[in-house]
């Protein structure tokens, strides 16, 4: 059986990925603080299993408890293929280094970097123990590759997840593991995260005008389309370990 685990599945890109997995008859394990109310019916229609695990990814103990529970239940079923998508992310704090709020700094590191690394670490171990084929996609951003005025935490944590992905892939290749890990850069999408960006201030985020224009000029991609492209890539199976895939090369 095939299973997809998607963090931040409740809305935005995560919702797009989760819905496409259900369409493709992949059993879904959704993780976020709130539940997407459409998944249960969509899973029933597709004839696949659906489980929701509430989890606050900004809490180390929540991540540890919930993902150990998920991994124990999942790998006991001896799944043929597991698709893990670390999608949940936060843009905040949007402010200048020197004015950042301490809790927001730590939450950003925890949700965008520590949680996906902890989850990857656990799943890579379990997949090797059980012989399941594991594909991991860590959702990243173009901000991983350029400094953006006001986004020091977001740029830093996304850059770090790219390097974690590349390094873990190097290690997997060197030990001829069948597990694969990639990063996925989804481009700019019409989601809640973009609303947060547009509602920041010019002082905190110098490029705000450009981002408001993206919305006004309908330049934001739909998260459904971007999610579909990732699911297509993963199901194809022929992914290049450690590569950062950009949505535009997949559409």
Kind plus residue range of the DSSP H or E element containing 22: helix 12-23
Nearer to ligand NAP, 177 or 198 (CB): 198
Quick one: three-class SS letters along 130-175?
HCCEEEEEEECCHHHCCCCCCEHHHHHHHHHHHHHHHHHHHHHHHC
CB of 69 to ligand NAP, least distance (A): 15
C-alpha distances (whole Å) from 68 to each of 61, 78, 83 are 11, 16, 16
Nearer to ligand NAP, 133 or 206 (CB): 206
When asked if residue 90 is in the footprint of ligand NAP (CB under 6 A), the reply is: yes
Count CB atoms within 10 A of the CB of residue 164: 18
Q: How many residues bind ligand NAP (CB under 6 A)?
A: 28
Which residues belong to the active site? Answer: 154
Q: Which helix (H) or strand (E) holds 246?
A: strand 244-246
Q: Is 229 in the site for ligand NAP (CB under 6 A)?
A: no
Shortest distance in whole angstroms from residue 141 CB to ligand NAP? 4
| Nearest approach, Cβ of residue 128 and ligand NAP (Å) | 26
Opening angle at CA 185, ends 214 and 167, nearest 5: 150
Tokens matching residue 8: 């931040």
- Ranges of beta strands (E only) in 26-68 are 27-32, 50-54
Binders of ligand NAP among 126-155, rule CB under 6 A? Answer: 139, 141
Residues numbered 179 to 208 that lie near ligand NAP (CB under 6 A) are 186, 188-189, 191-194
Measured from the Cβ of residue 38, the count of other Cβ atoms closer than 10 Å reads: 12
**Does 4 contact ligand NAP by CB under 6 A?**
no
**Helix, strand, or coil here: 44?**
helix
Q: Which stretch binds ligand NAP (CB under 6 A): 72-80, 81-89, 92-100, 232-240?
A: 81-89
By beta carbon distance, the residue nearest ligand NAP is: 12
Cβ pair 151, 91 in contact under 8 A: yes
- Contacts with ligand NAP, 18-37, as mask; x by CB under 6 A: --------------xxx---
x-marked contacts with ligand NAP along 43-72 as a string, rule CB under 6 A: ------------xxxx--------------
Binding site for ligand NAP (CB under 6 A): 8, 10-14, 32-34, 55-58, 87-90, 111, 139, 141, 186, 188-189, 191-194, 223
């Amino acid at each position: 059986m095939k299973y997809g685990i998607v963090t931040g599945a409740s809305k935005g890109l995560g919702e797009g990925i989760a819905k496409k997995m259900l369409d493709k008859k992949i059993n879904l394990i959704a993780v976020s603080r709130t539940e997407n109310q459409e998944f249960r019916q969509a899973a029933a229609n597709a004839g696949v299993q659906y489980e929701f695990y509430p989890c606050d990814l900004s809490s180390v103990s929540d991540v540890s408890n919930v993902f150990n529970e998920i991994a124990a239940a999942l790998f006991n079923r001896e799944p043929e293929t597991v698709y893990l998508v670390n999608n949940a992310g936060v843009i905040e704090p949007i402010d200048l280094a020197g004015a950042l709020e301490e809790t927001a700094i730590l939450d950003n590191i925890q949700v965008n970097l520590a949680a996906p690394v902890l989850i990857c670490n656990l799943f890579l171990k379990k997949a090797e123990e059980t012989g399941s084929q594991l594909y991991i996609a860590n959702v990243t951003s173009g901000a991983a590759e350029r400094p953006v005025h006001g986004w020091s935490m977001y740029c830093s944590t996304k850059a770090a997840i790219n390097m974690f992905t590349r390094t873990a892939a190097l290690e997997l290749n060197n030990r001829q593991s069948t597990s694969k890990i990639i990063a996925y850069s989804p481009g700019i999408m019409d989601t809640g995260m973009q609303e947060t960006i547009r509602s920041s201030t010019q002082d905190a985020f110098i490029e705000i005008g450009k981002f408001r224009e993206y919305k006004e000029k309908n330049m934001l991609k739909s998260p459904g389309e971007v999610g579909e492209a990732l699911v297509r890539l993963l199901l194809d199976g022929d992914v290049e370990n450690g590569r950062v895939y950009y949505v535009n090369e997949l559409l």
